[in-house]
Amino acid sequence: MKKHWAFIDTGFQDASWNMAFDECLINWHHEGKIPPTLRFYGWKAPSLSVGYFQKVDNKIDFDAIERHSCQFVRRLTGGSAVLHDDELTYSLVISENDPDIPVSVQEAYHVLSKGVFEGYHNLGIPAEYAILDRDSARGRTAICFEKPAFYEMVVDGKKLSGNAQTRKKGVLMQHGSVPMSMDTEMLFDLFLFSSGRIRERSRAAFSKKAVTINQLTNREHHYDMLTQAFKEGFKKGLDLELHPLQLTETQWEEVQQLAHSKYETRAWNINSNKERASIG
């Protein structure tokens, strides 16, 4: 029996607005204002997002972010840094108490990522789930695509997409990056290294760890092509019937206000976790 979810494609927006919308989805679902919802979106400008707990002091080169005309934002979810540029991004919200959602974070990833799995297969890409042994799963890198996590998508061991999850107010929110291409020159310029040689060595090694849709297909894709493939992928993978999400003018204003009051601020994006906890 198909499950009924809402769907919205918010198009290309600023980094702060994108993260505010995802947080609003959590709030609205918690308040019973919206059903389980799938969202697709893009980015107005190249944007570096970092995980909720990720340290940025002496790690991120903010001069380079300005030089590359990038935006910067801290996510509500954990994990490592992601450069959002030529990609489709998805997010979804569903109650933690939904019978289809496992208690285990890893198993919840497995269930919810079936839509991503089917989306890649709709593009003719033989994606597989990353199944890691305990030793491989340990440790974290500063850059998301350097290492797959449990049940993320890989082809020949190379990571295809990055996903992150949080659970707040009884709601599970998962979002993920599905790159069509990746500017590794820009990506590695945005991080601080002890020398240029180490930066170039890390950049060269990255190509053995990550791969994009355009590289695998030898074809240039665009946003609309991915939205079609992955919308059908989520419908099949999660057995969904999708209905357009209708928001009120007040809800759209709520997103803008949250973007301005939280996700555009230094207090949220830059300051230490302790400082952010005291204001949040």
Question: What's the count of helices (H) and strands (E) in the chain, helices before strands?
Answer: 12, 12
pLDDT in tens, 214-225: 999 999 999 999
**Res 139 pLDDT > 50:** no
Please tell me the predicted confidence (pLDDT) of residue 183.
94
| pTM given for the model | 0.90
Please tell me the predicted confidence (pLDDT) of residue 276.
42
**Res 143 pLDDT > 80:** no
**Catalytic-labelled residue, pool 56, 88, 127, 144:** 144
Alpha-carbon distance 255 to 253, whole Å? 5
Q: 267: which DSSP letter?
A: H
Report helix, strand or coil for 37: strand
Q: Residue 146: pLDDT band by 50, 70, 90 thresholds?
A: very low
Among 1, 67, 78, residue whose Cα is nearest residue 273: 78
Identify the CATH number of the domain in which residue 67 sits.
Answer: 3.30.930.10
Q: Is 70 a catalytic residue?
A: no
Q: What is the residue range of 216's domain?
A: 3-277
Residues 6+ apart with CB under 8 A from 55: none
Please tell me the predicted confidence (pLDDT) of residue 242.
98
Q: Could you give the number of structural domains in the chain?
A: 1
Please tell me the predicted confidence (pLDDT) of residue 278.
32
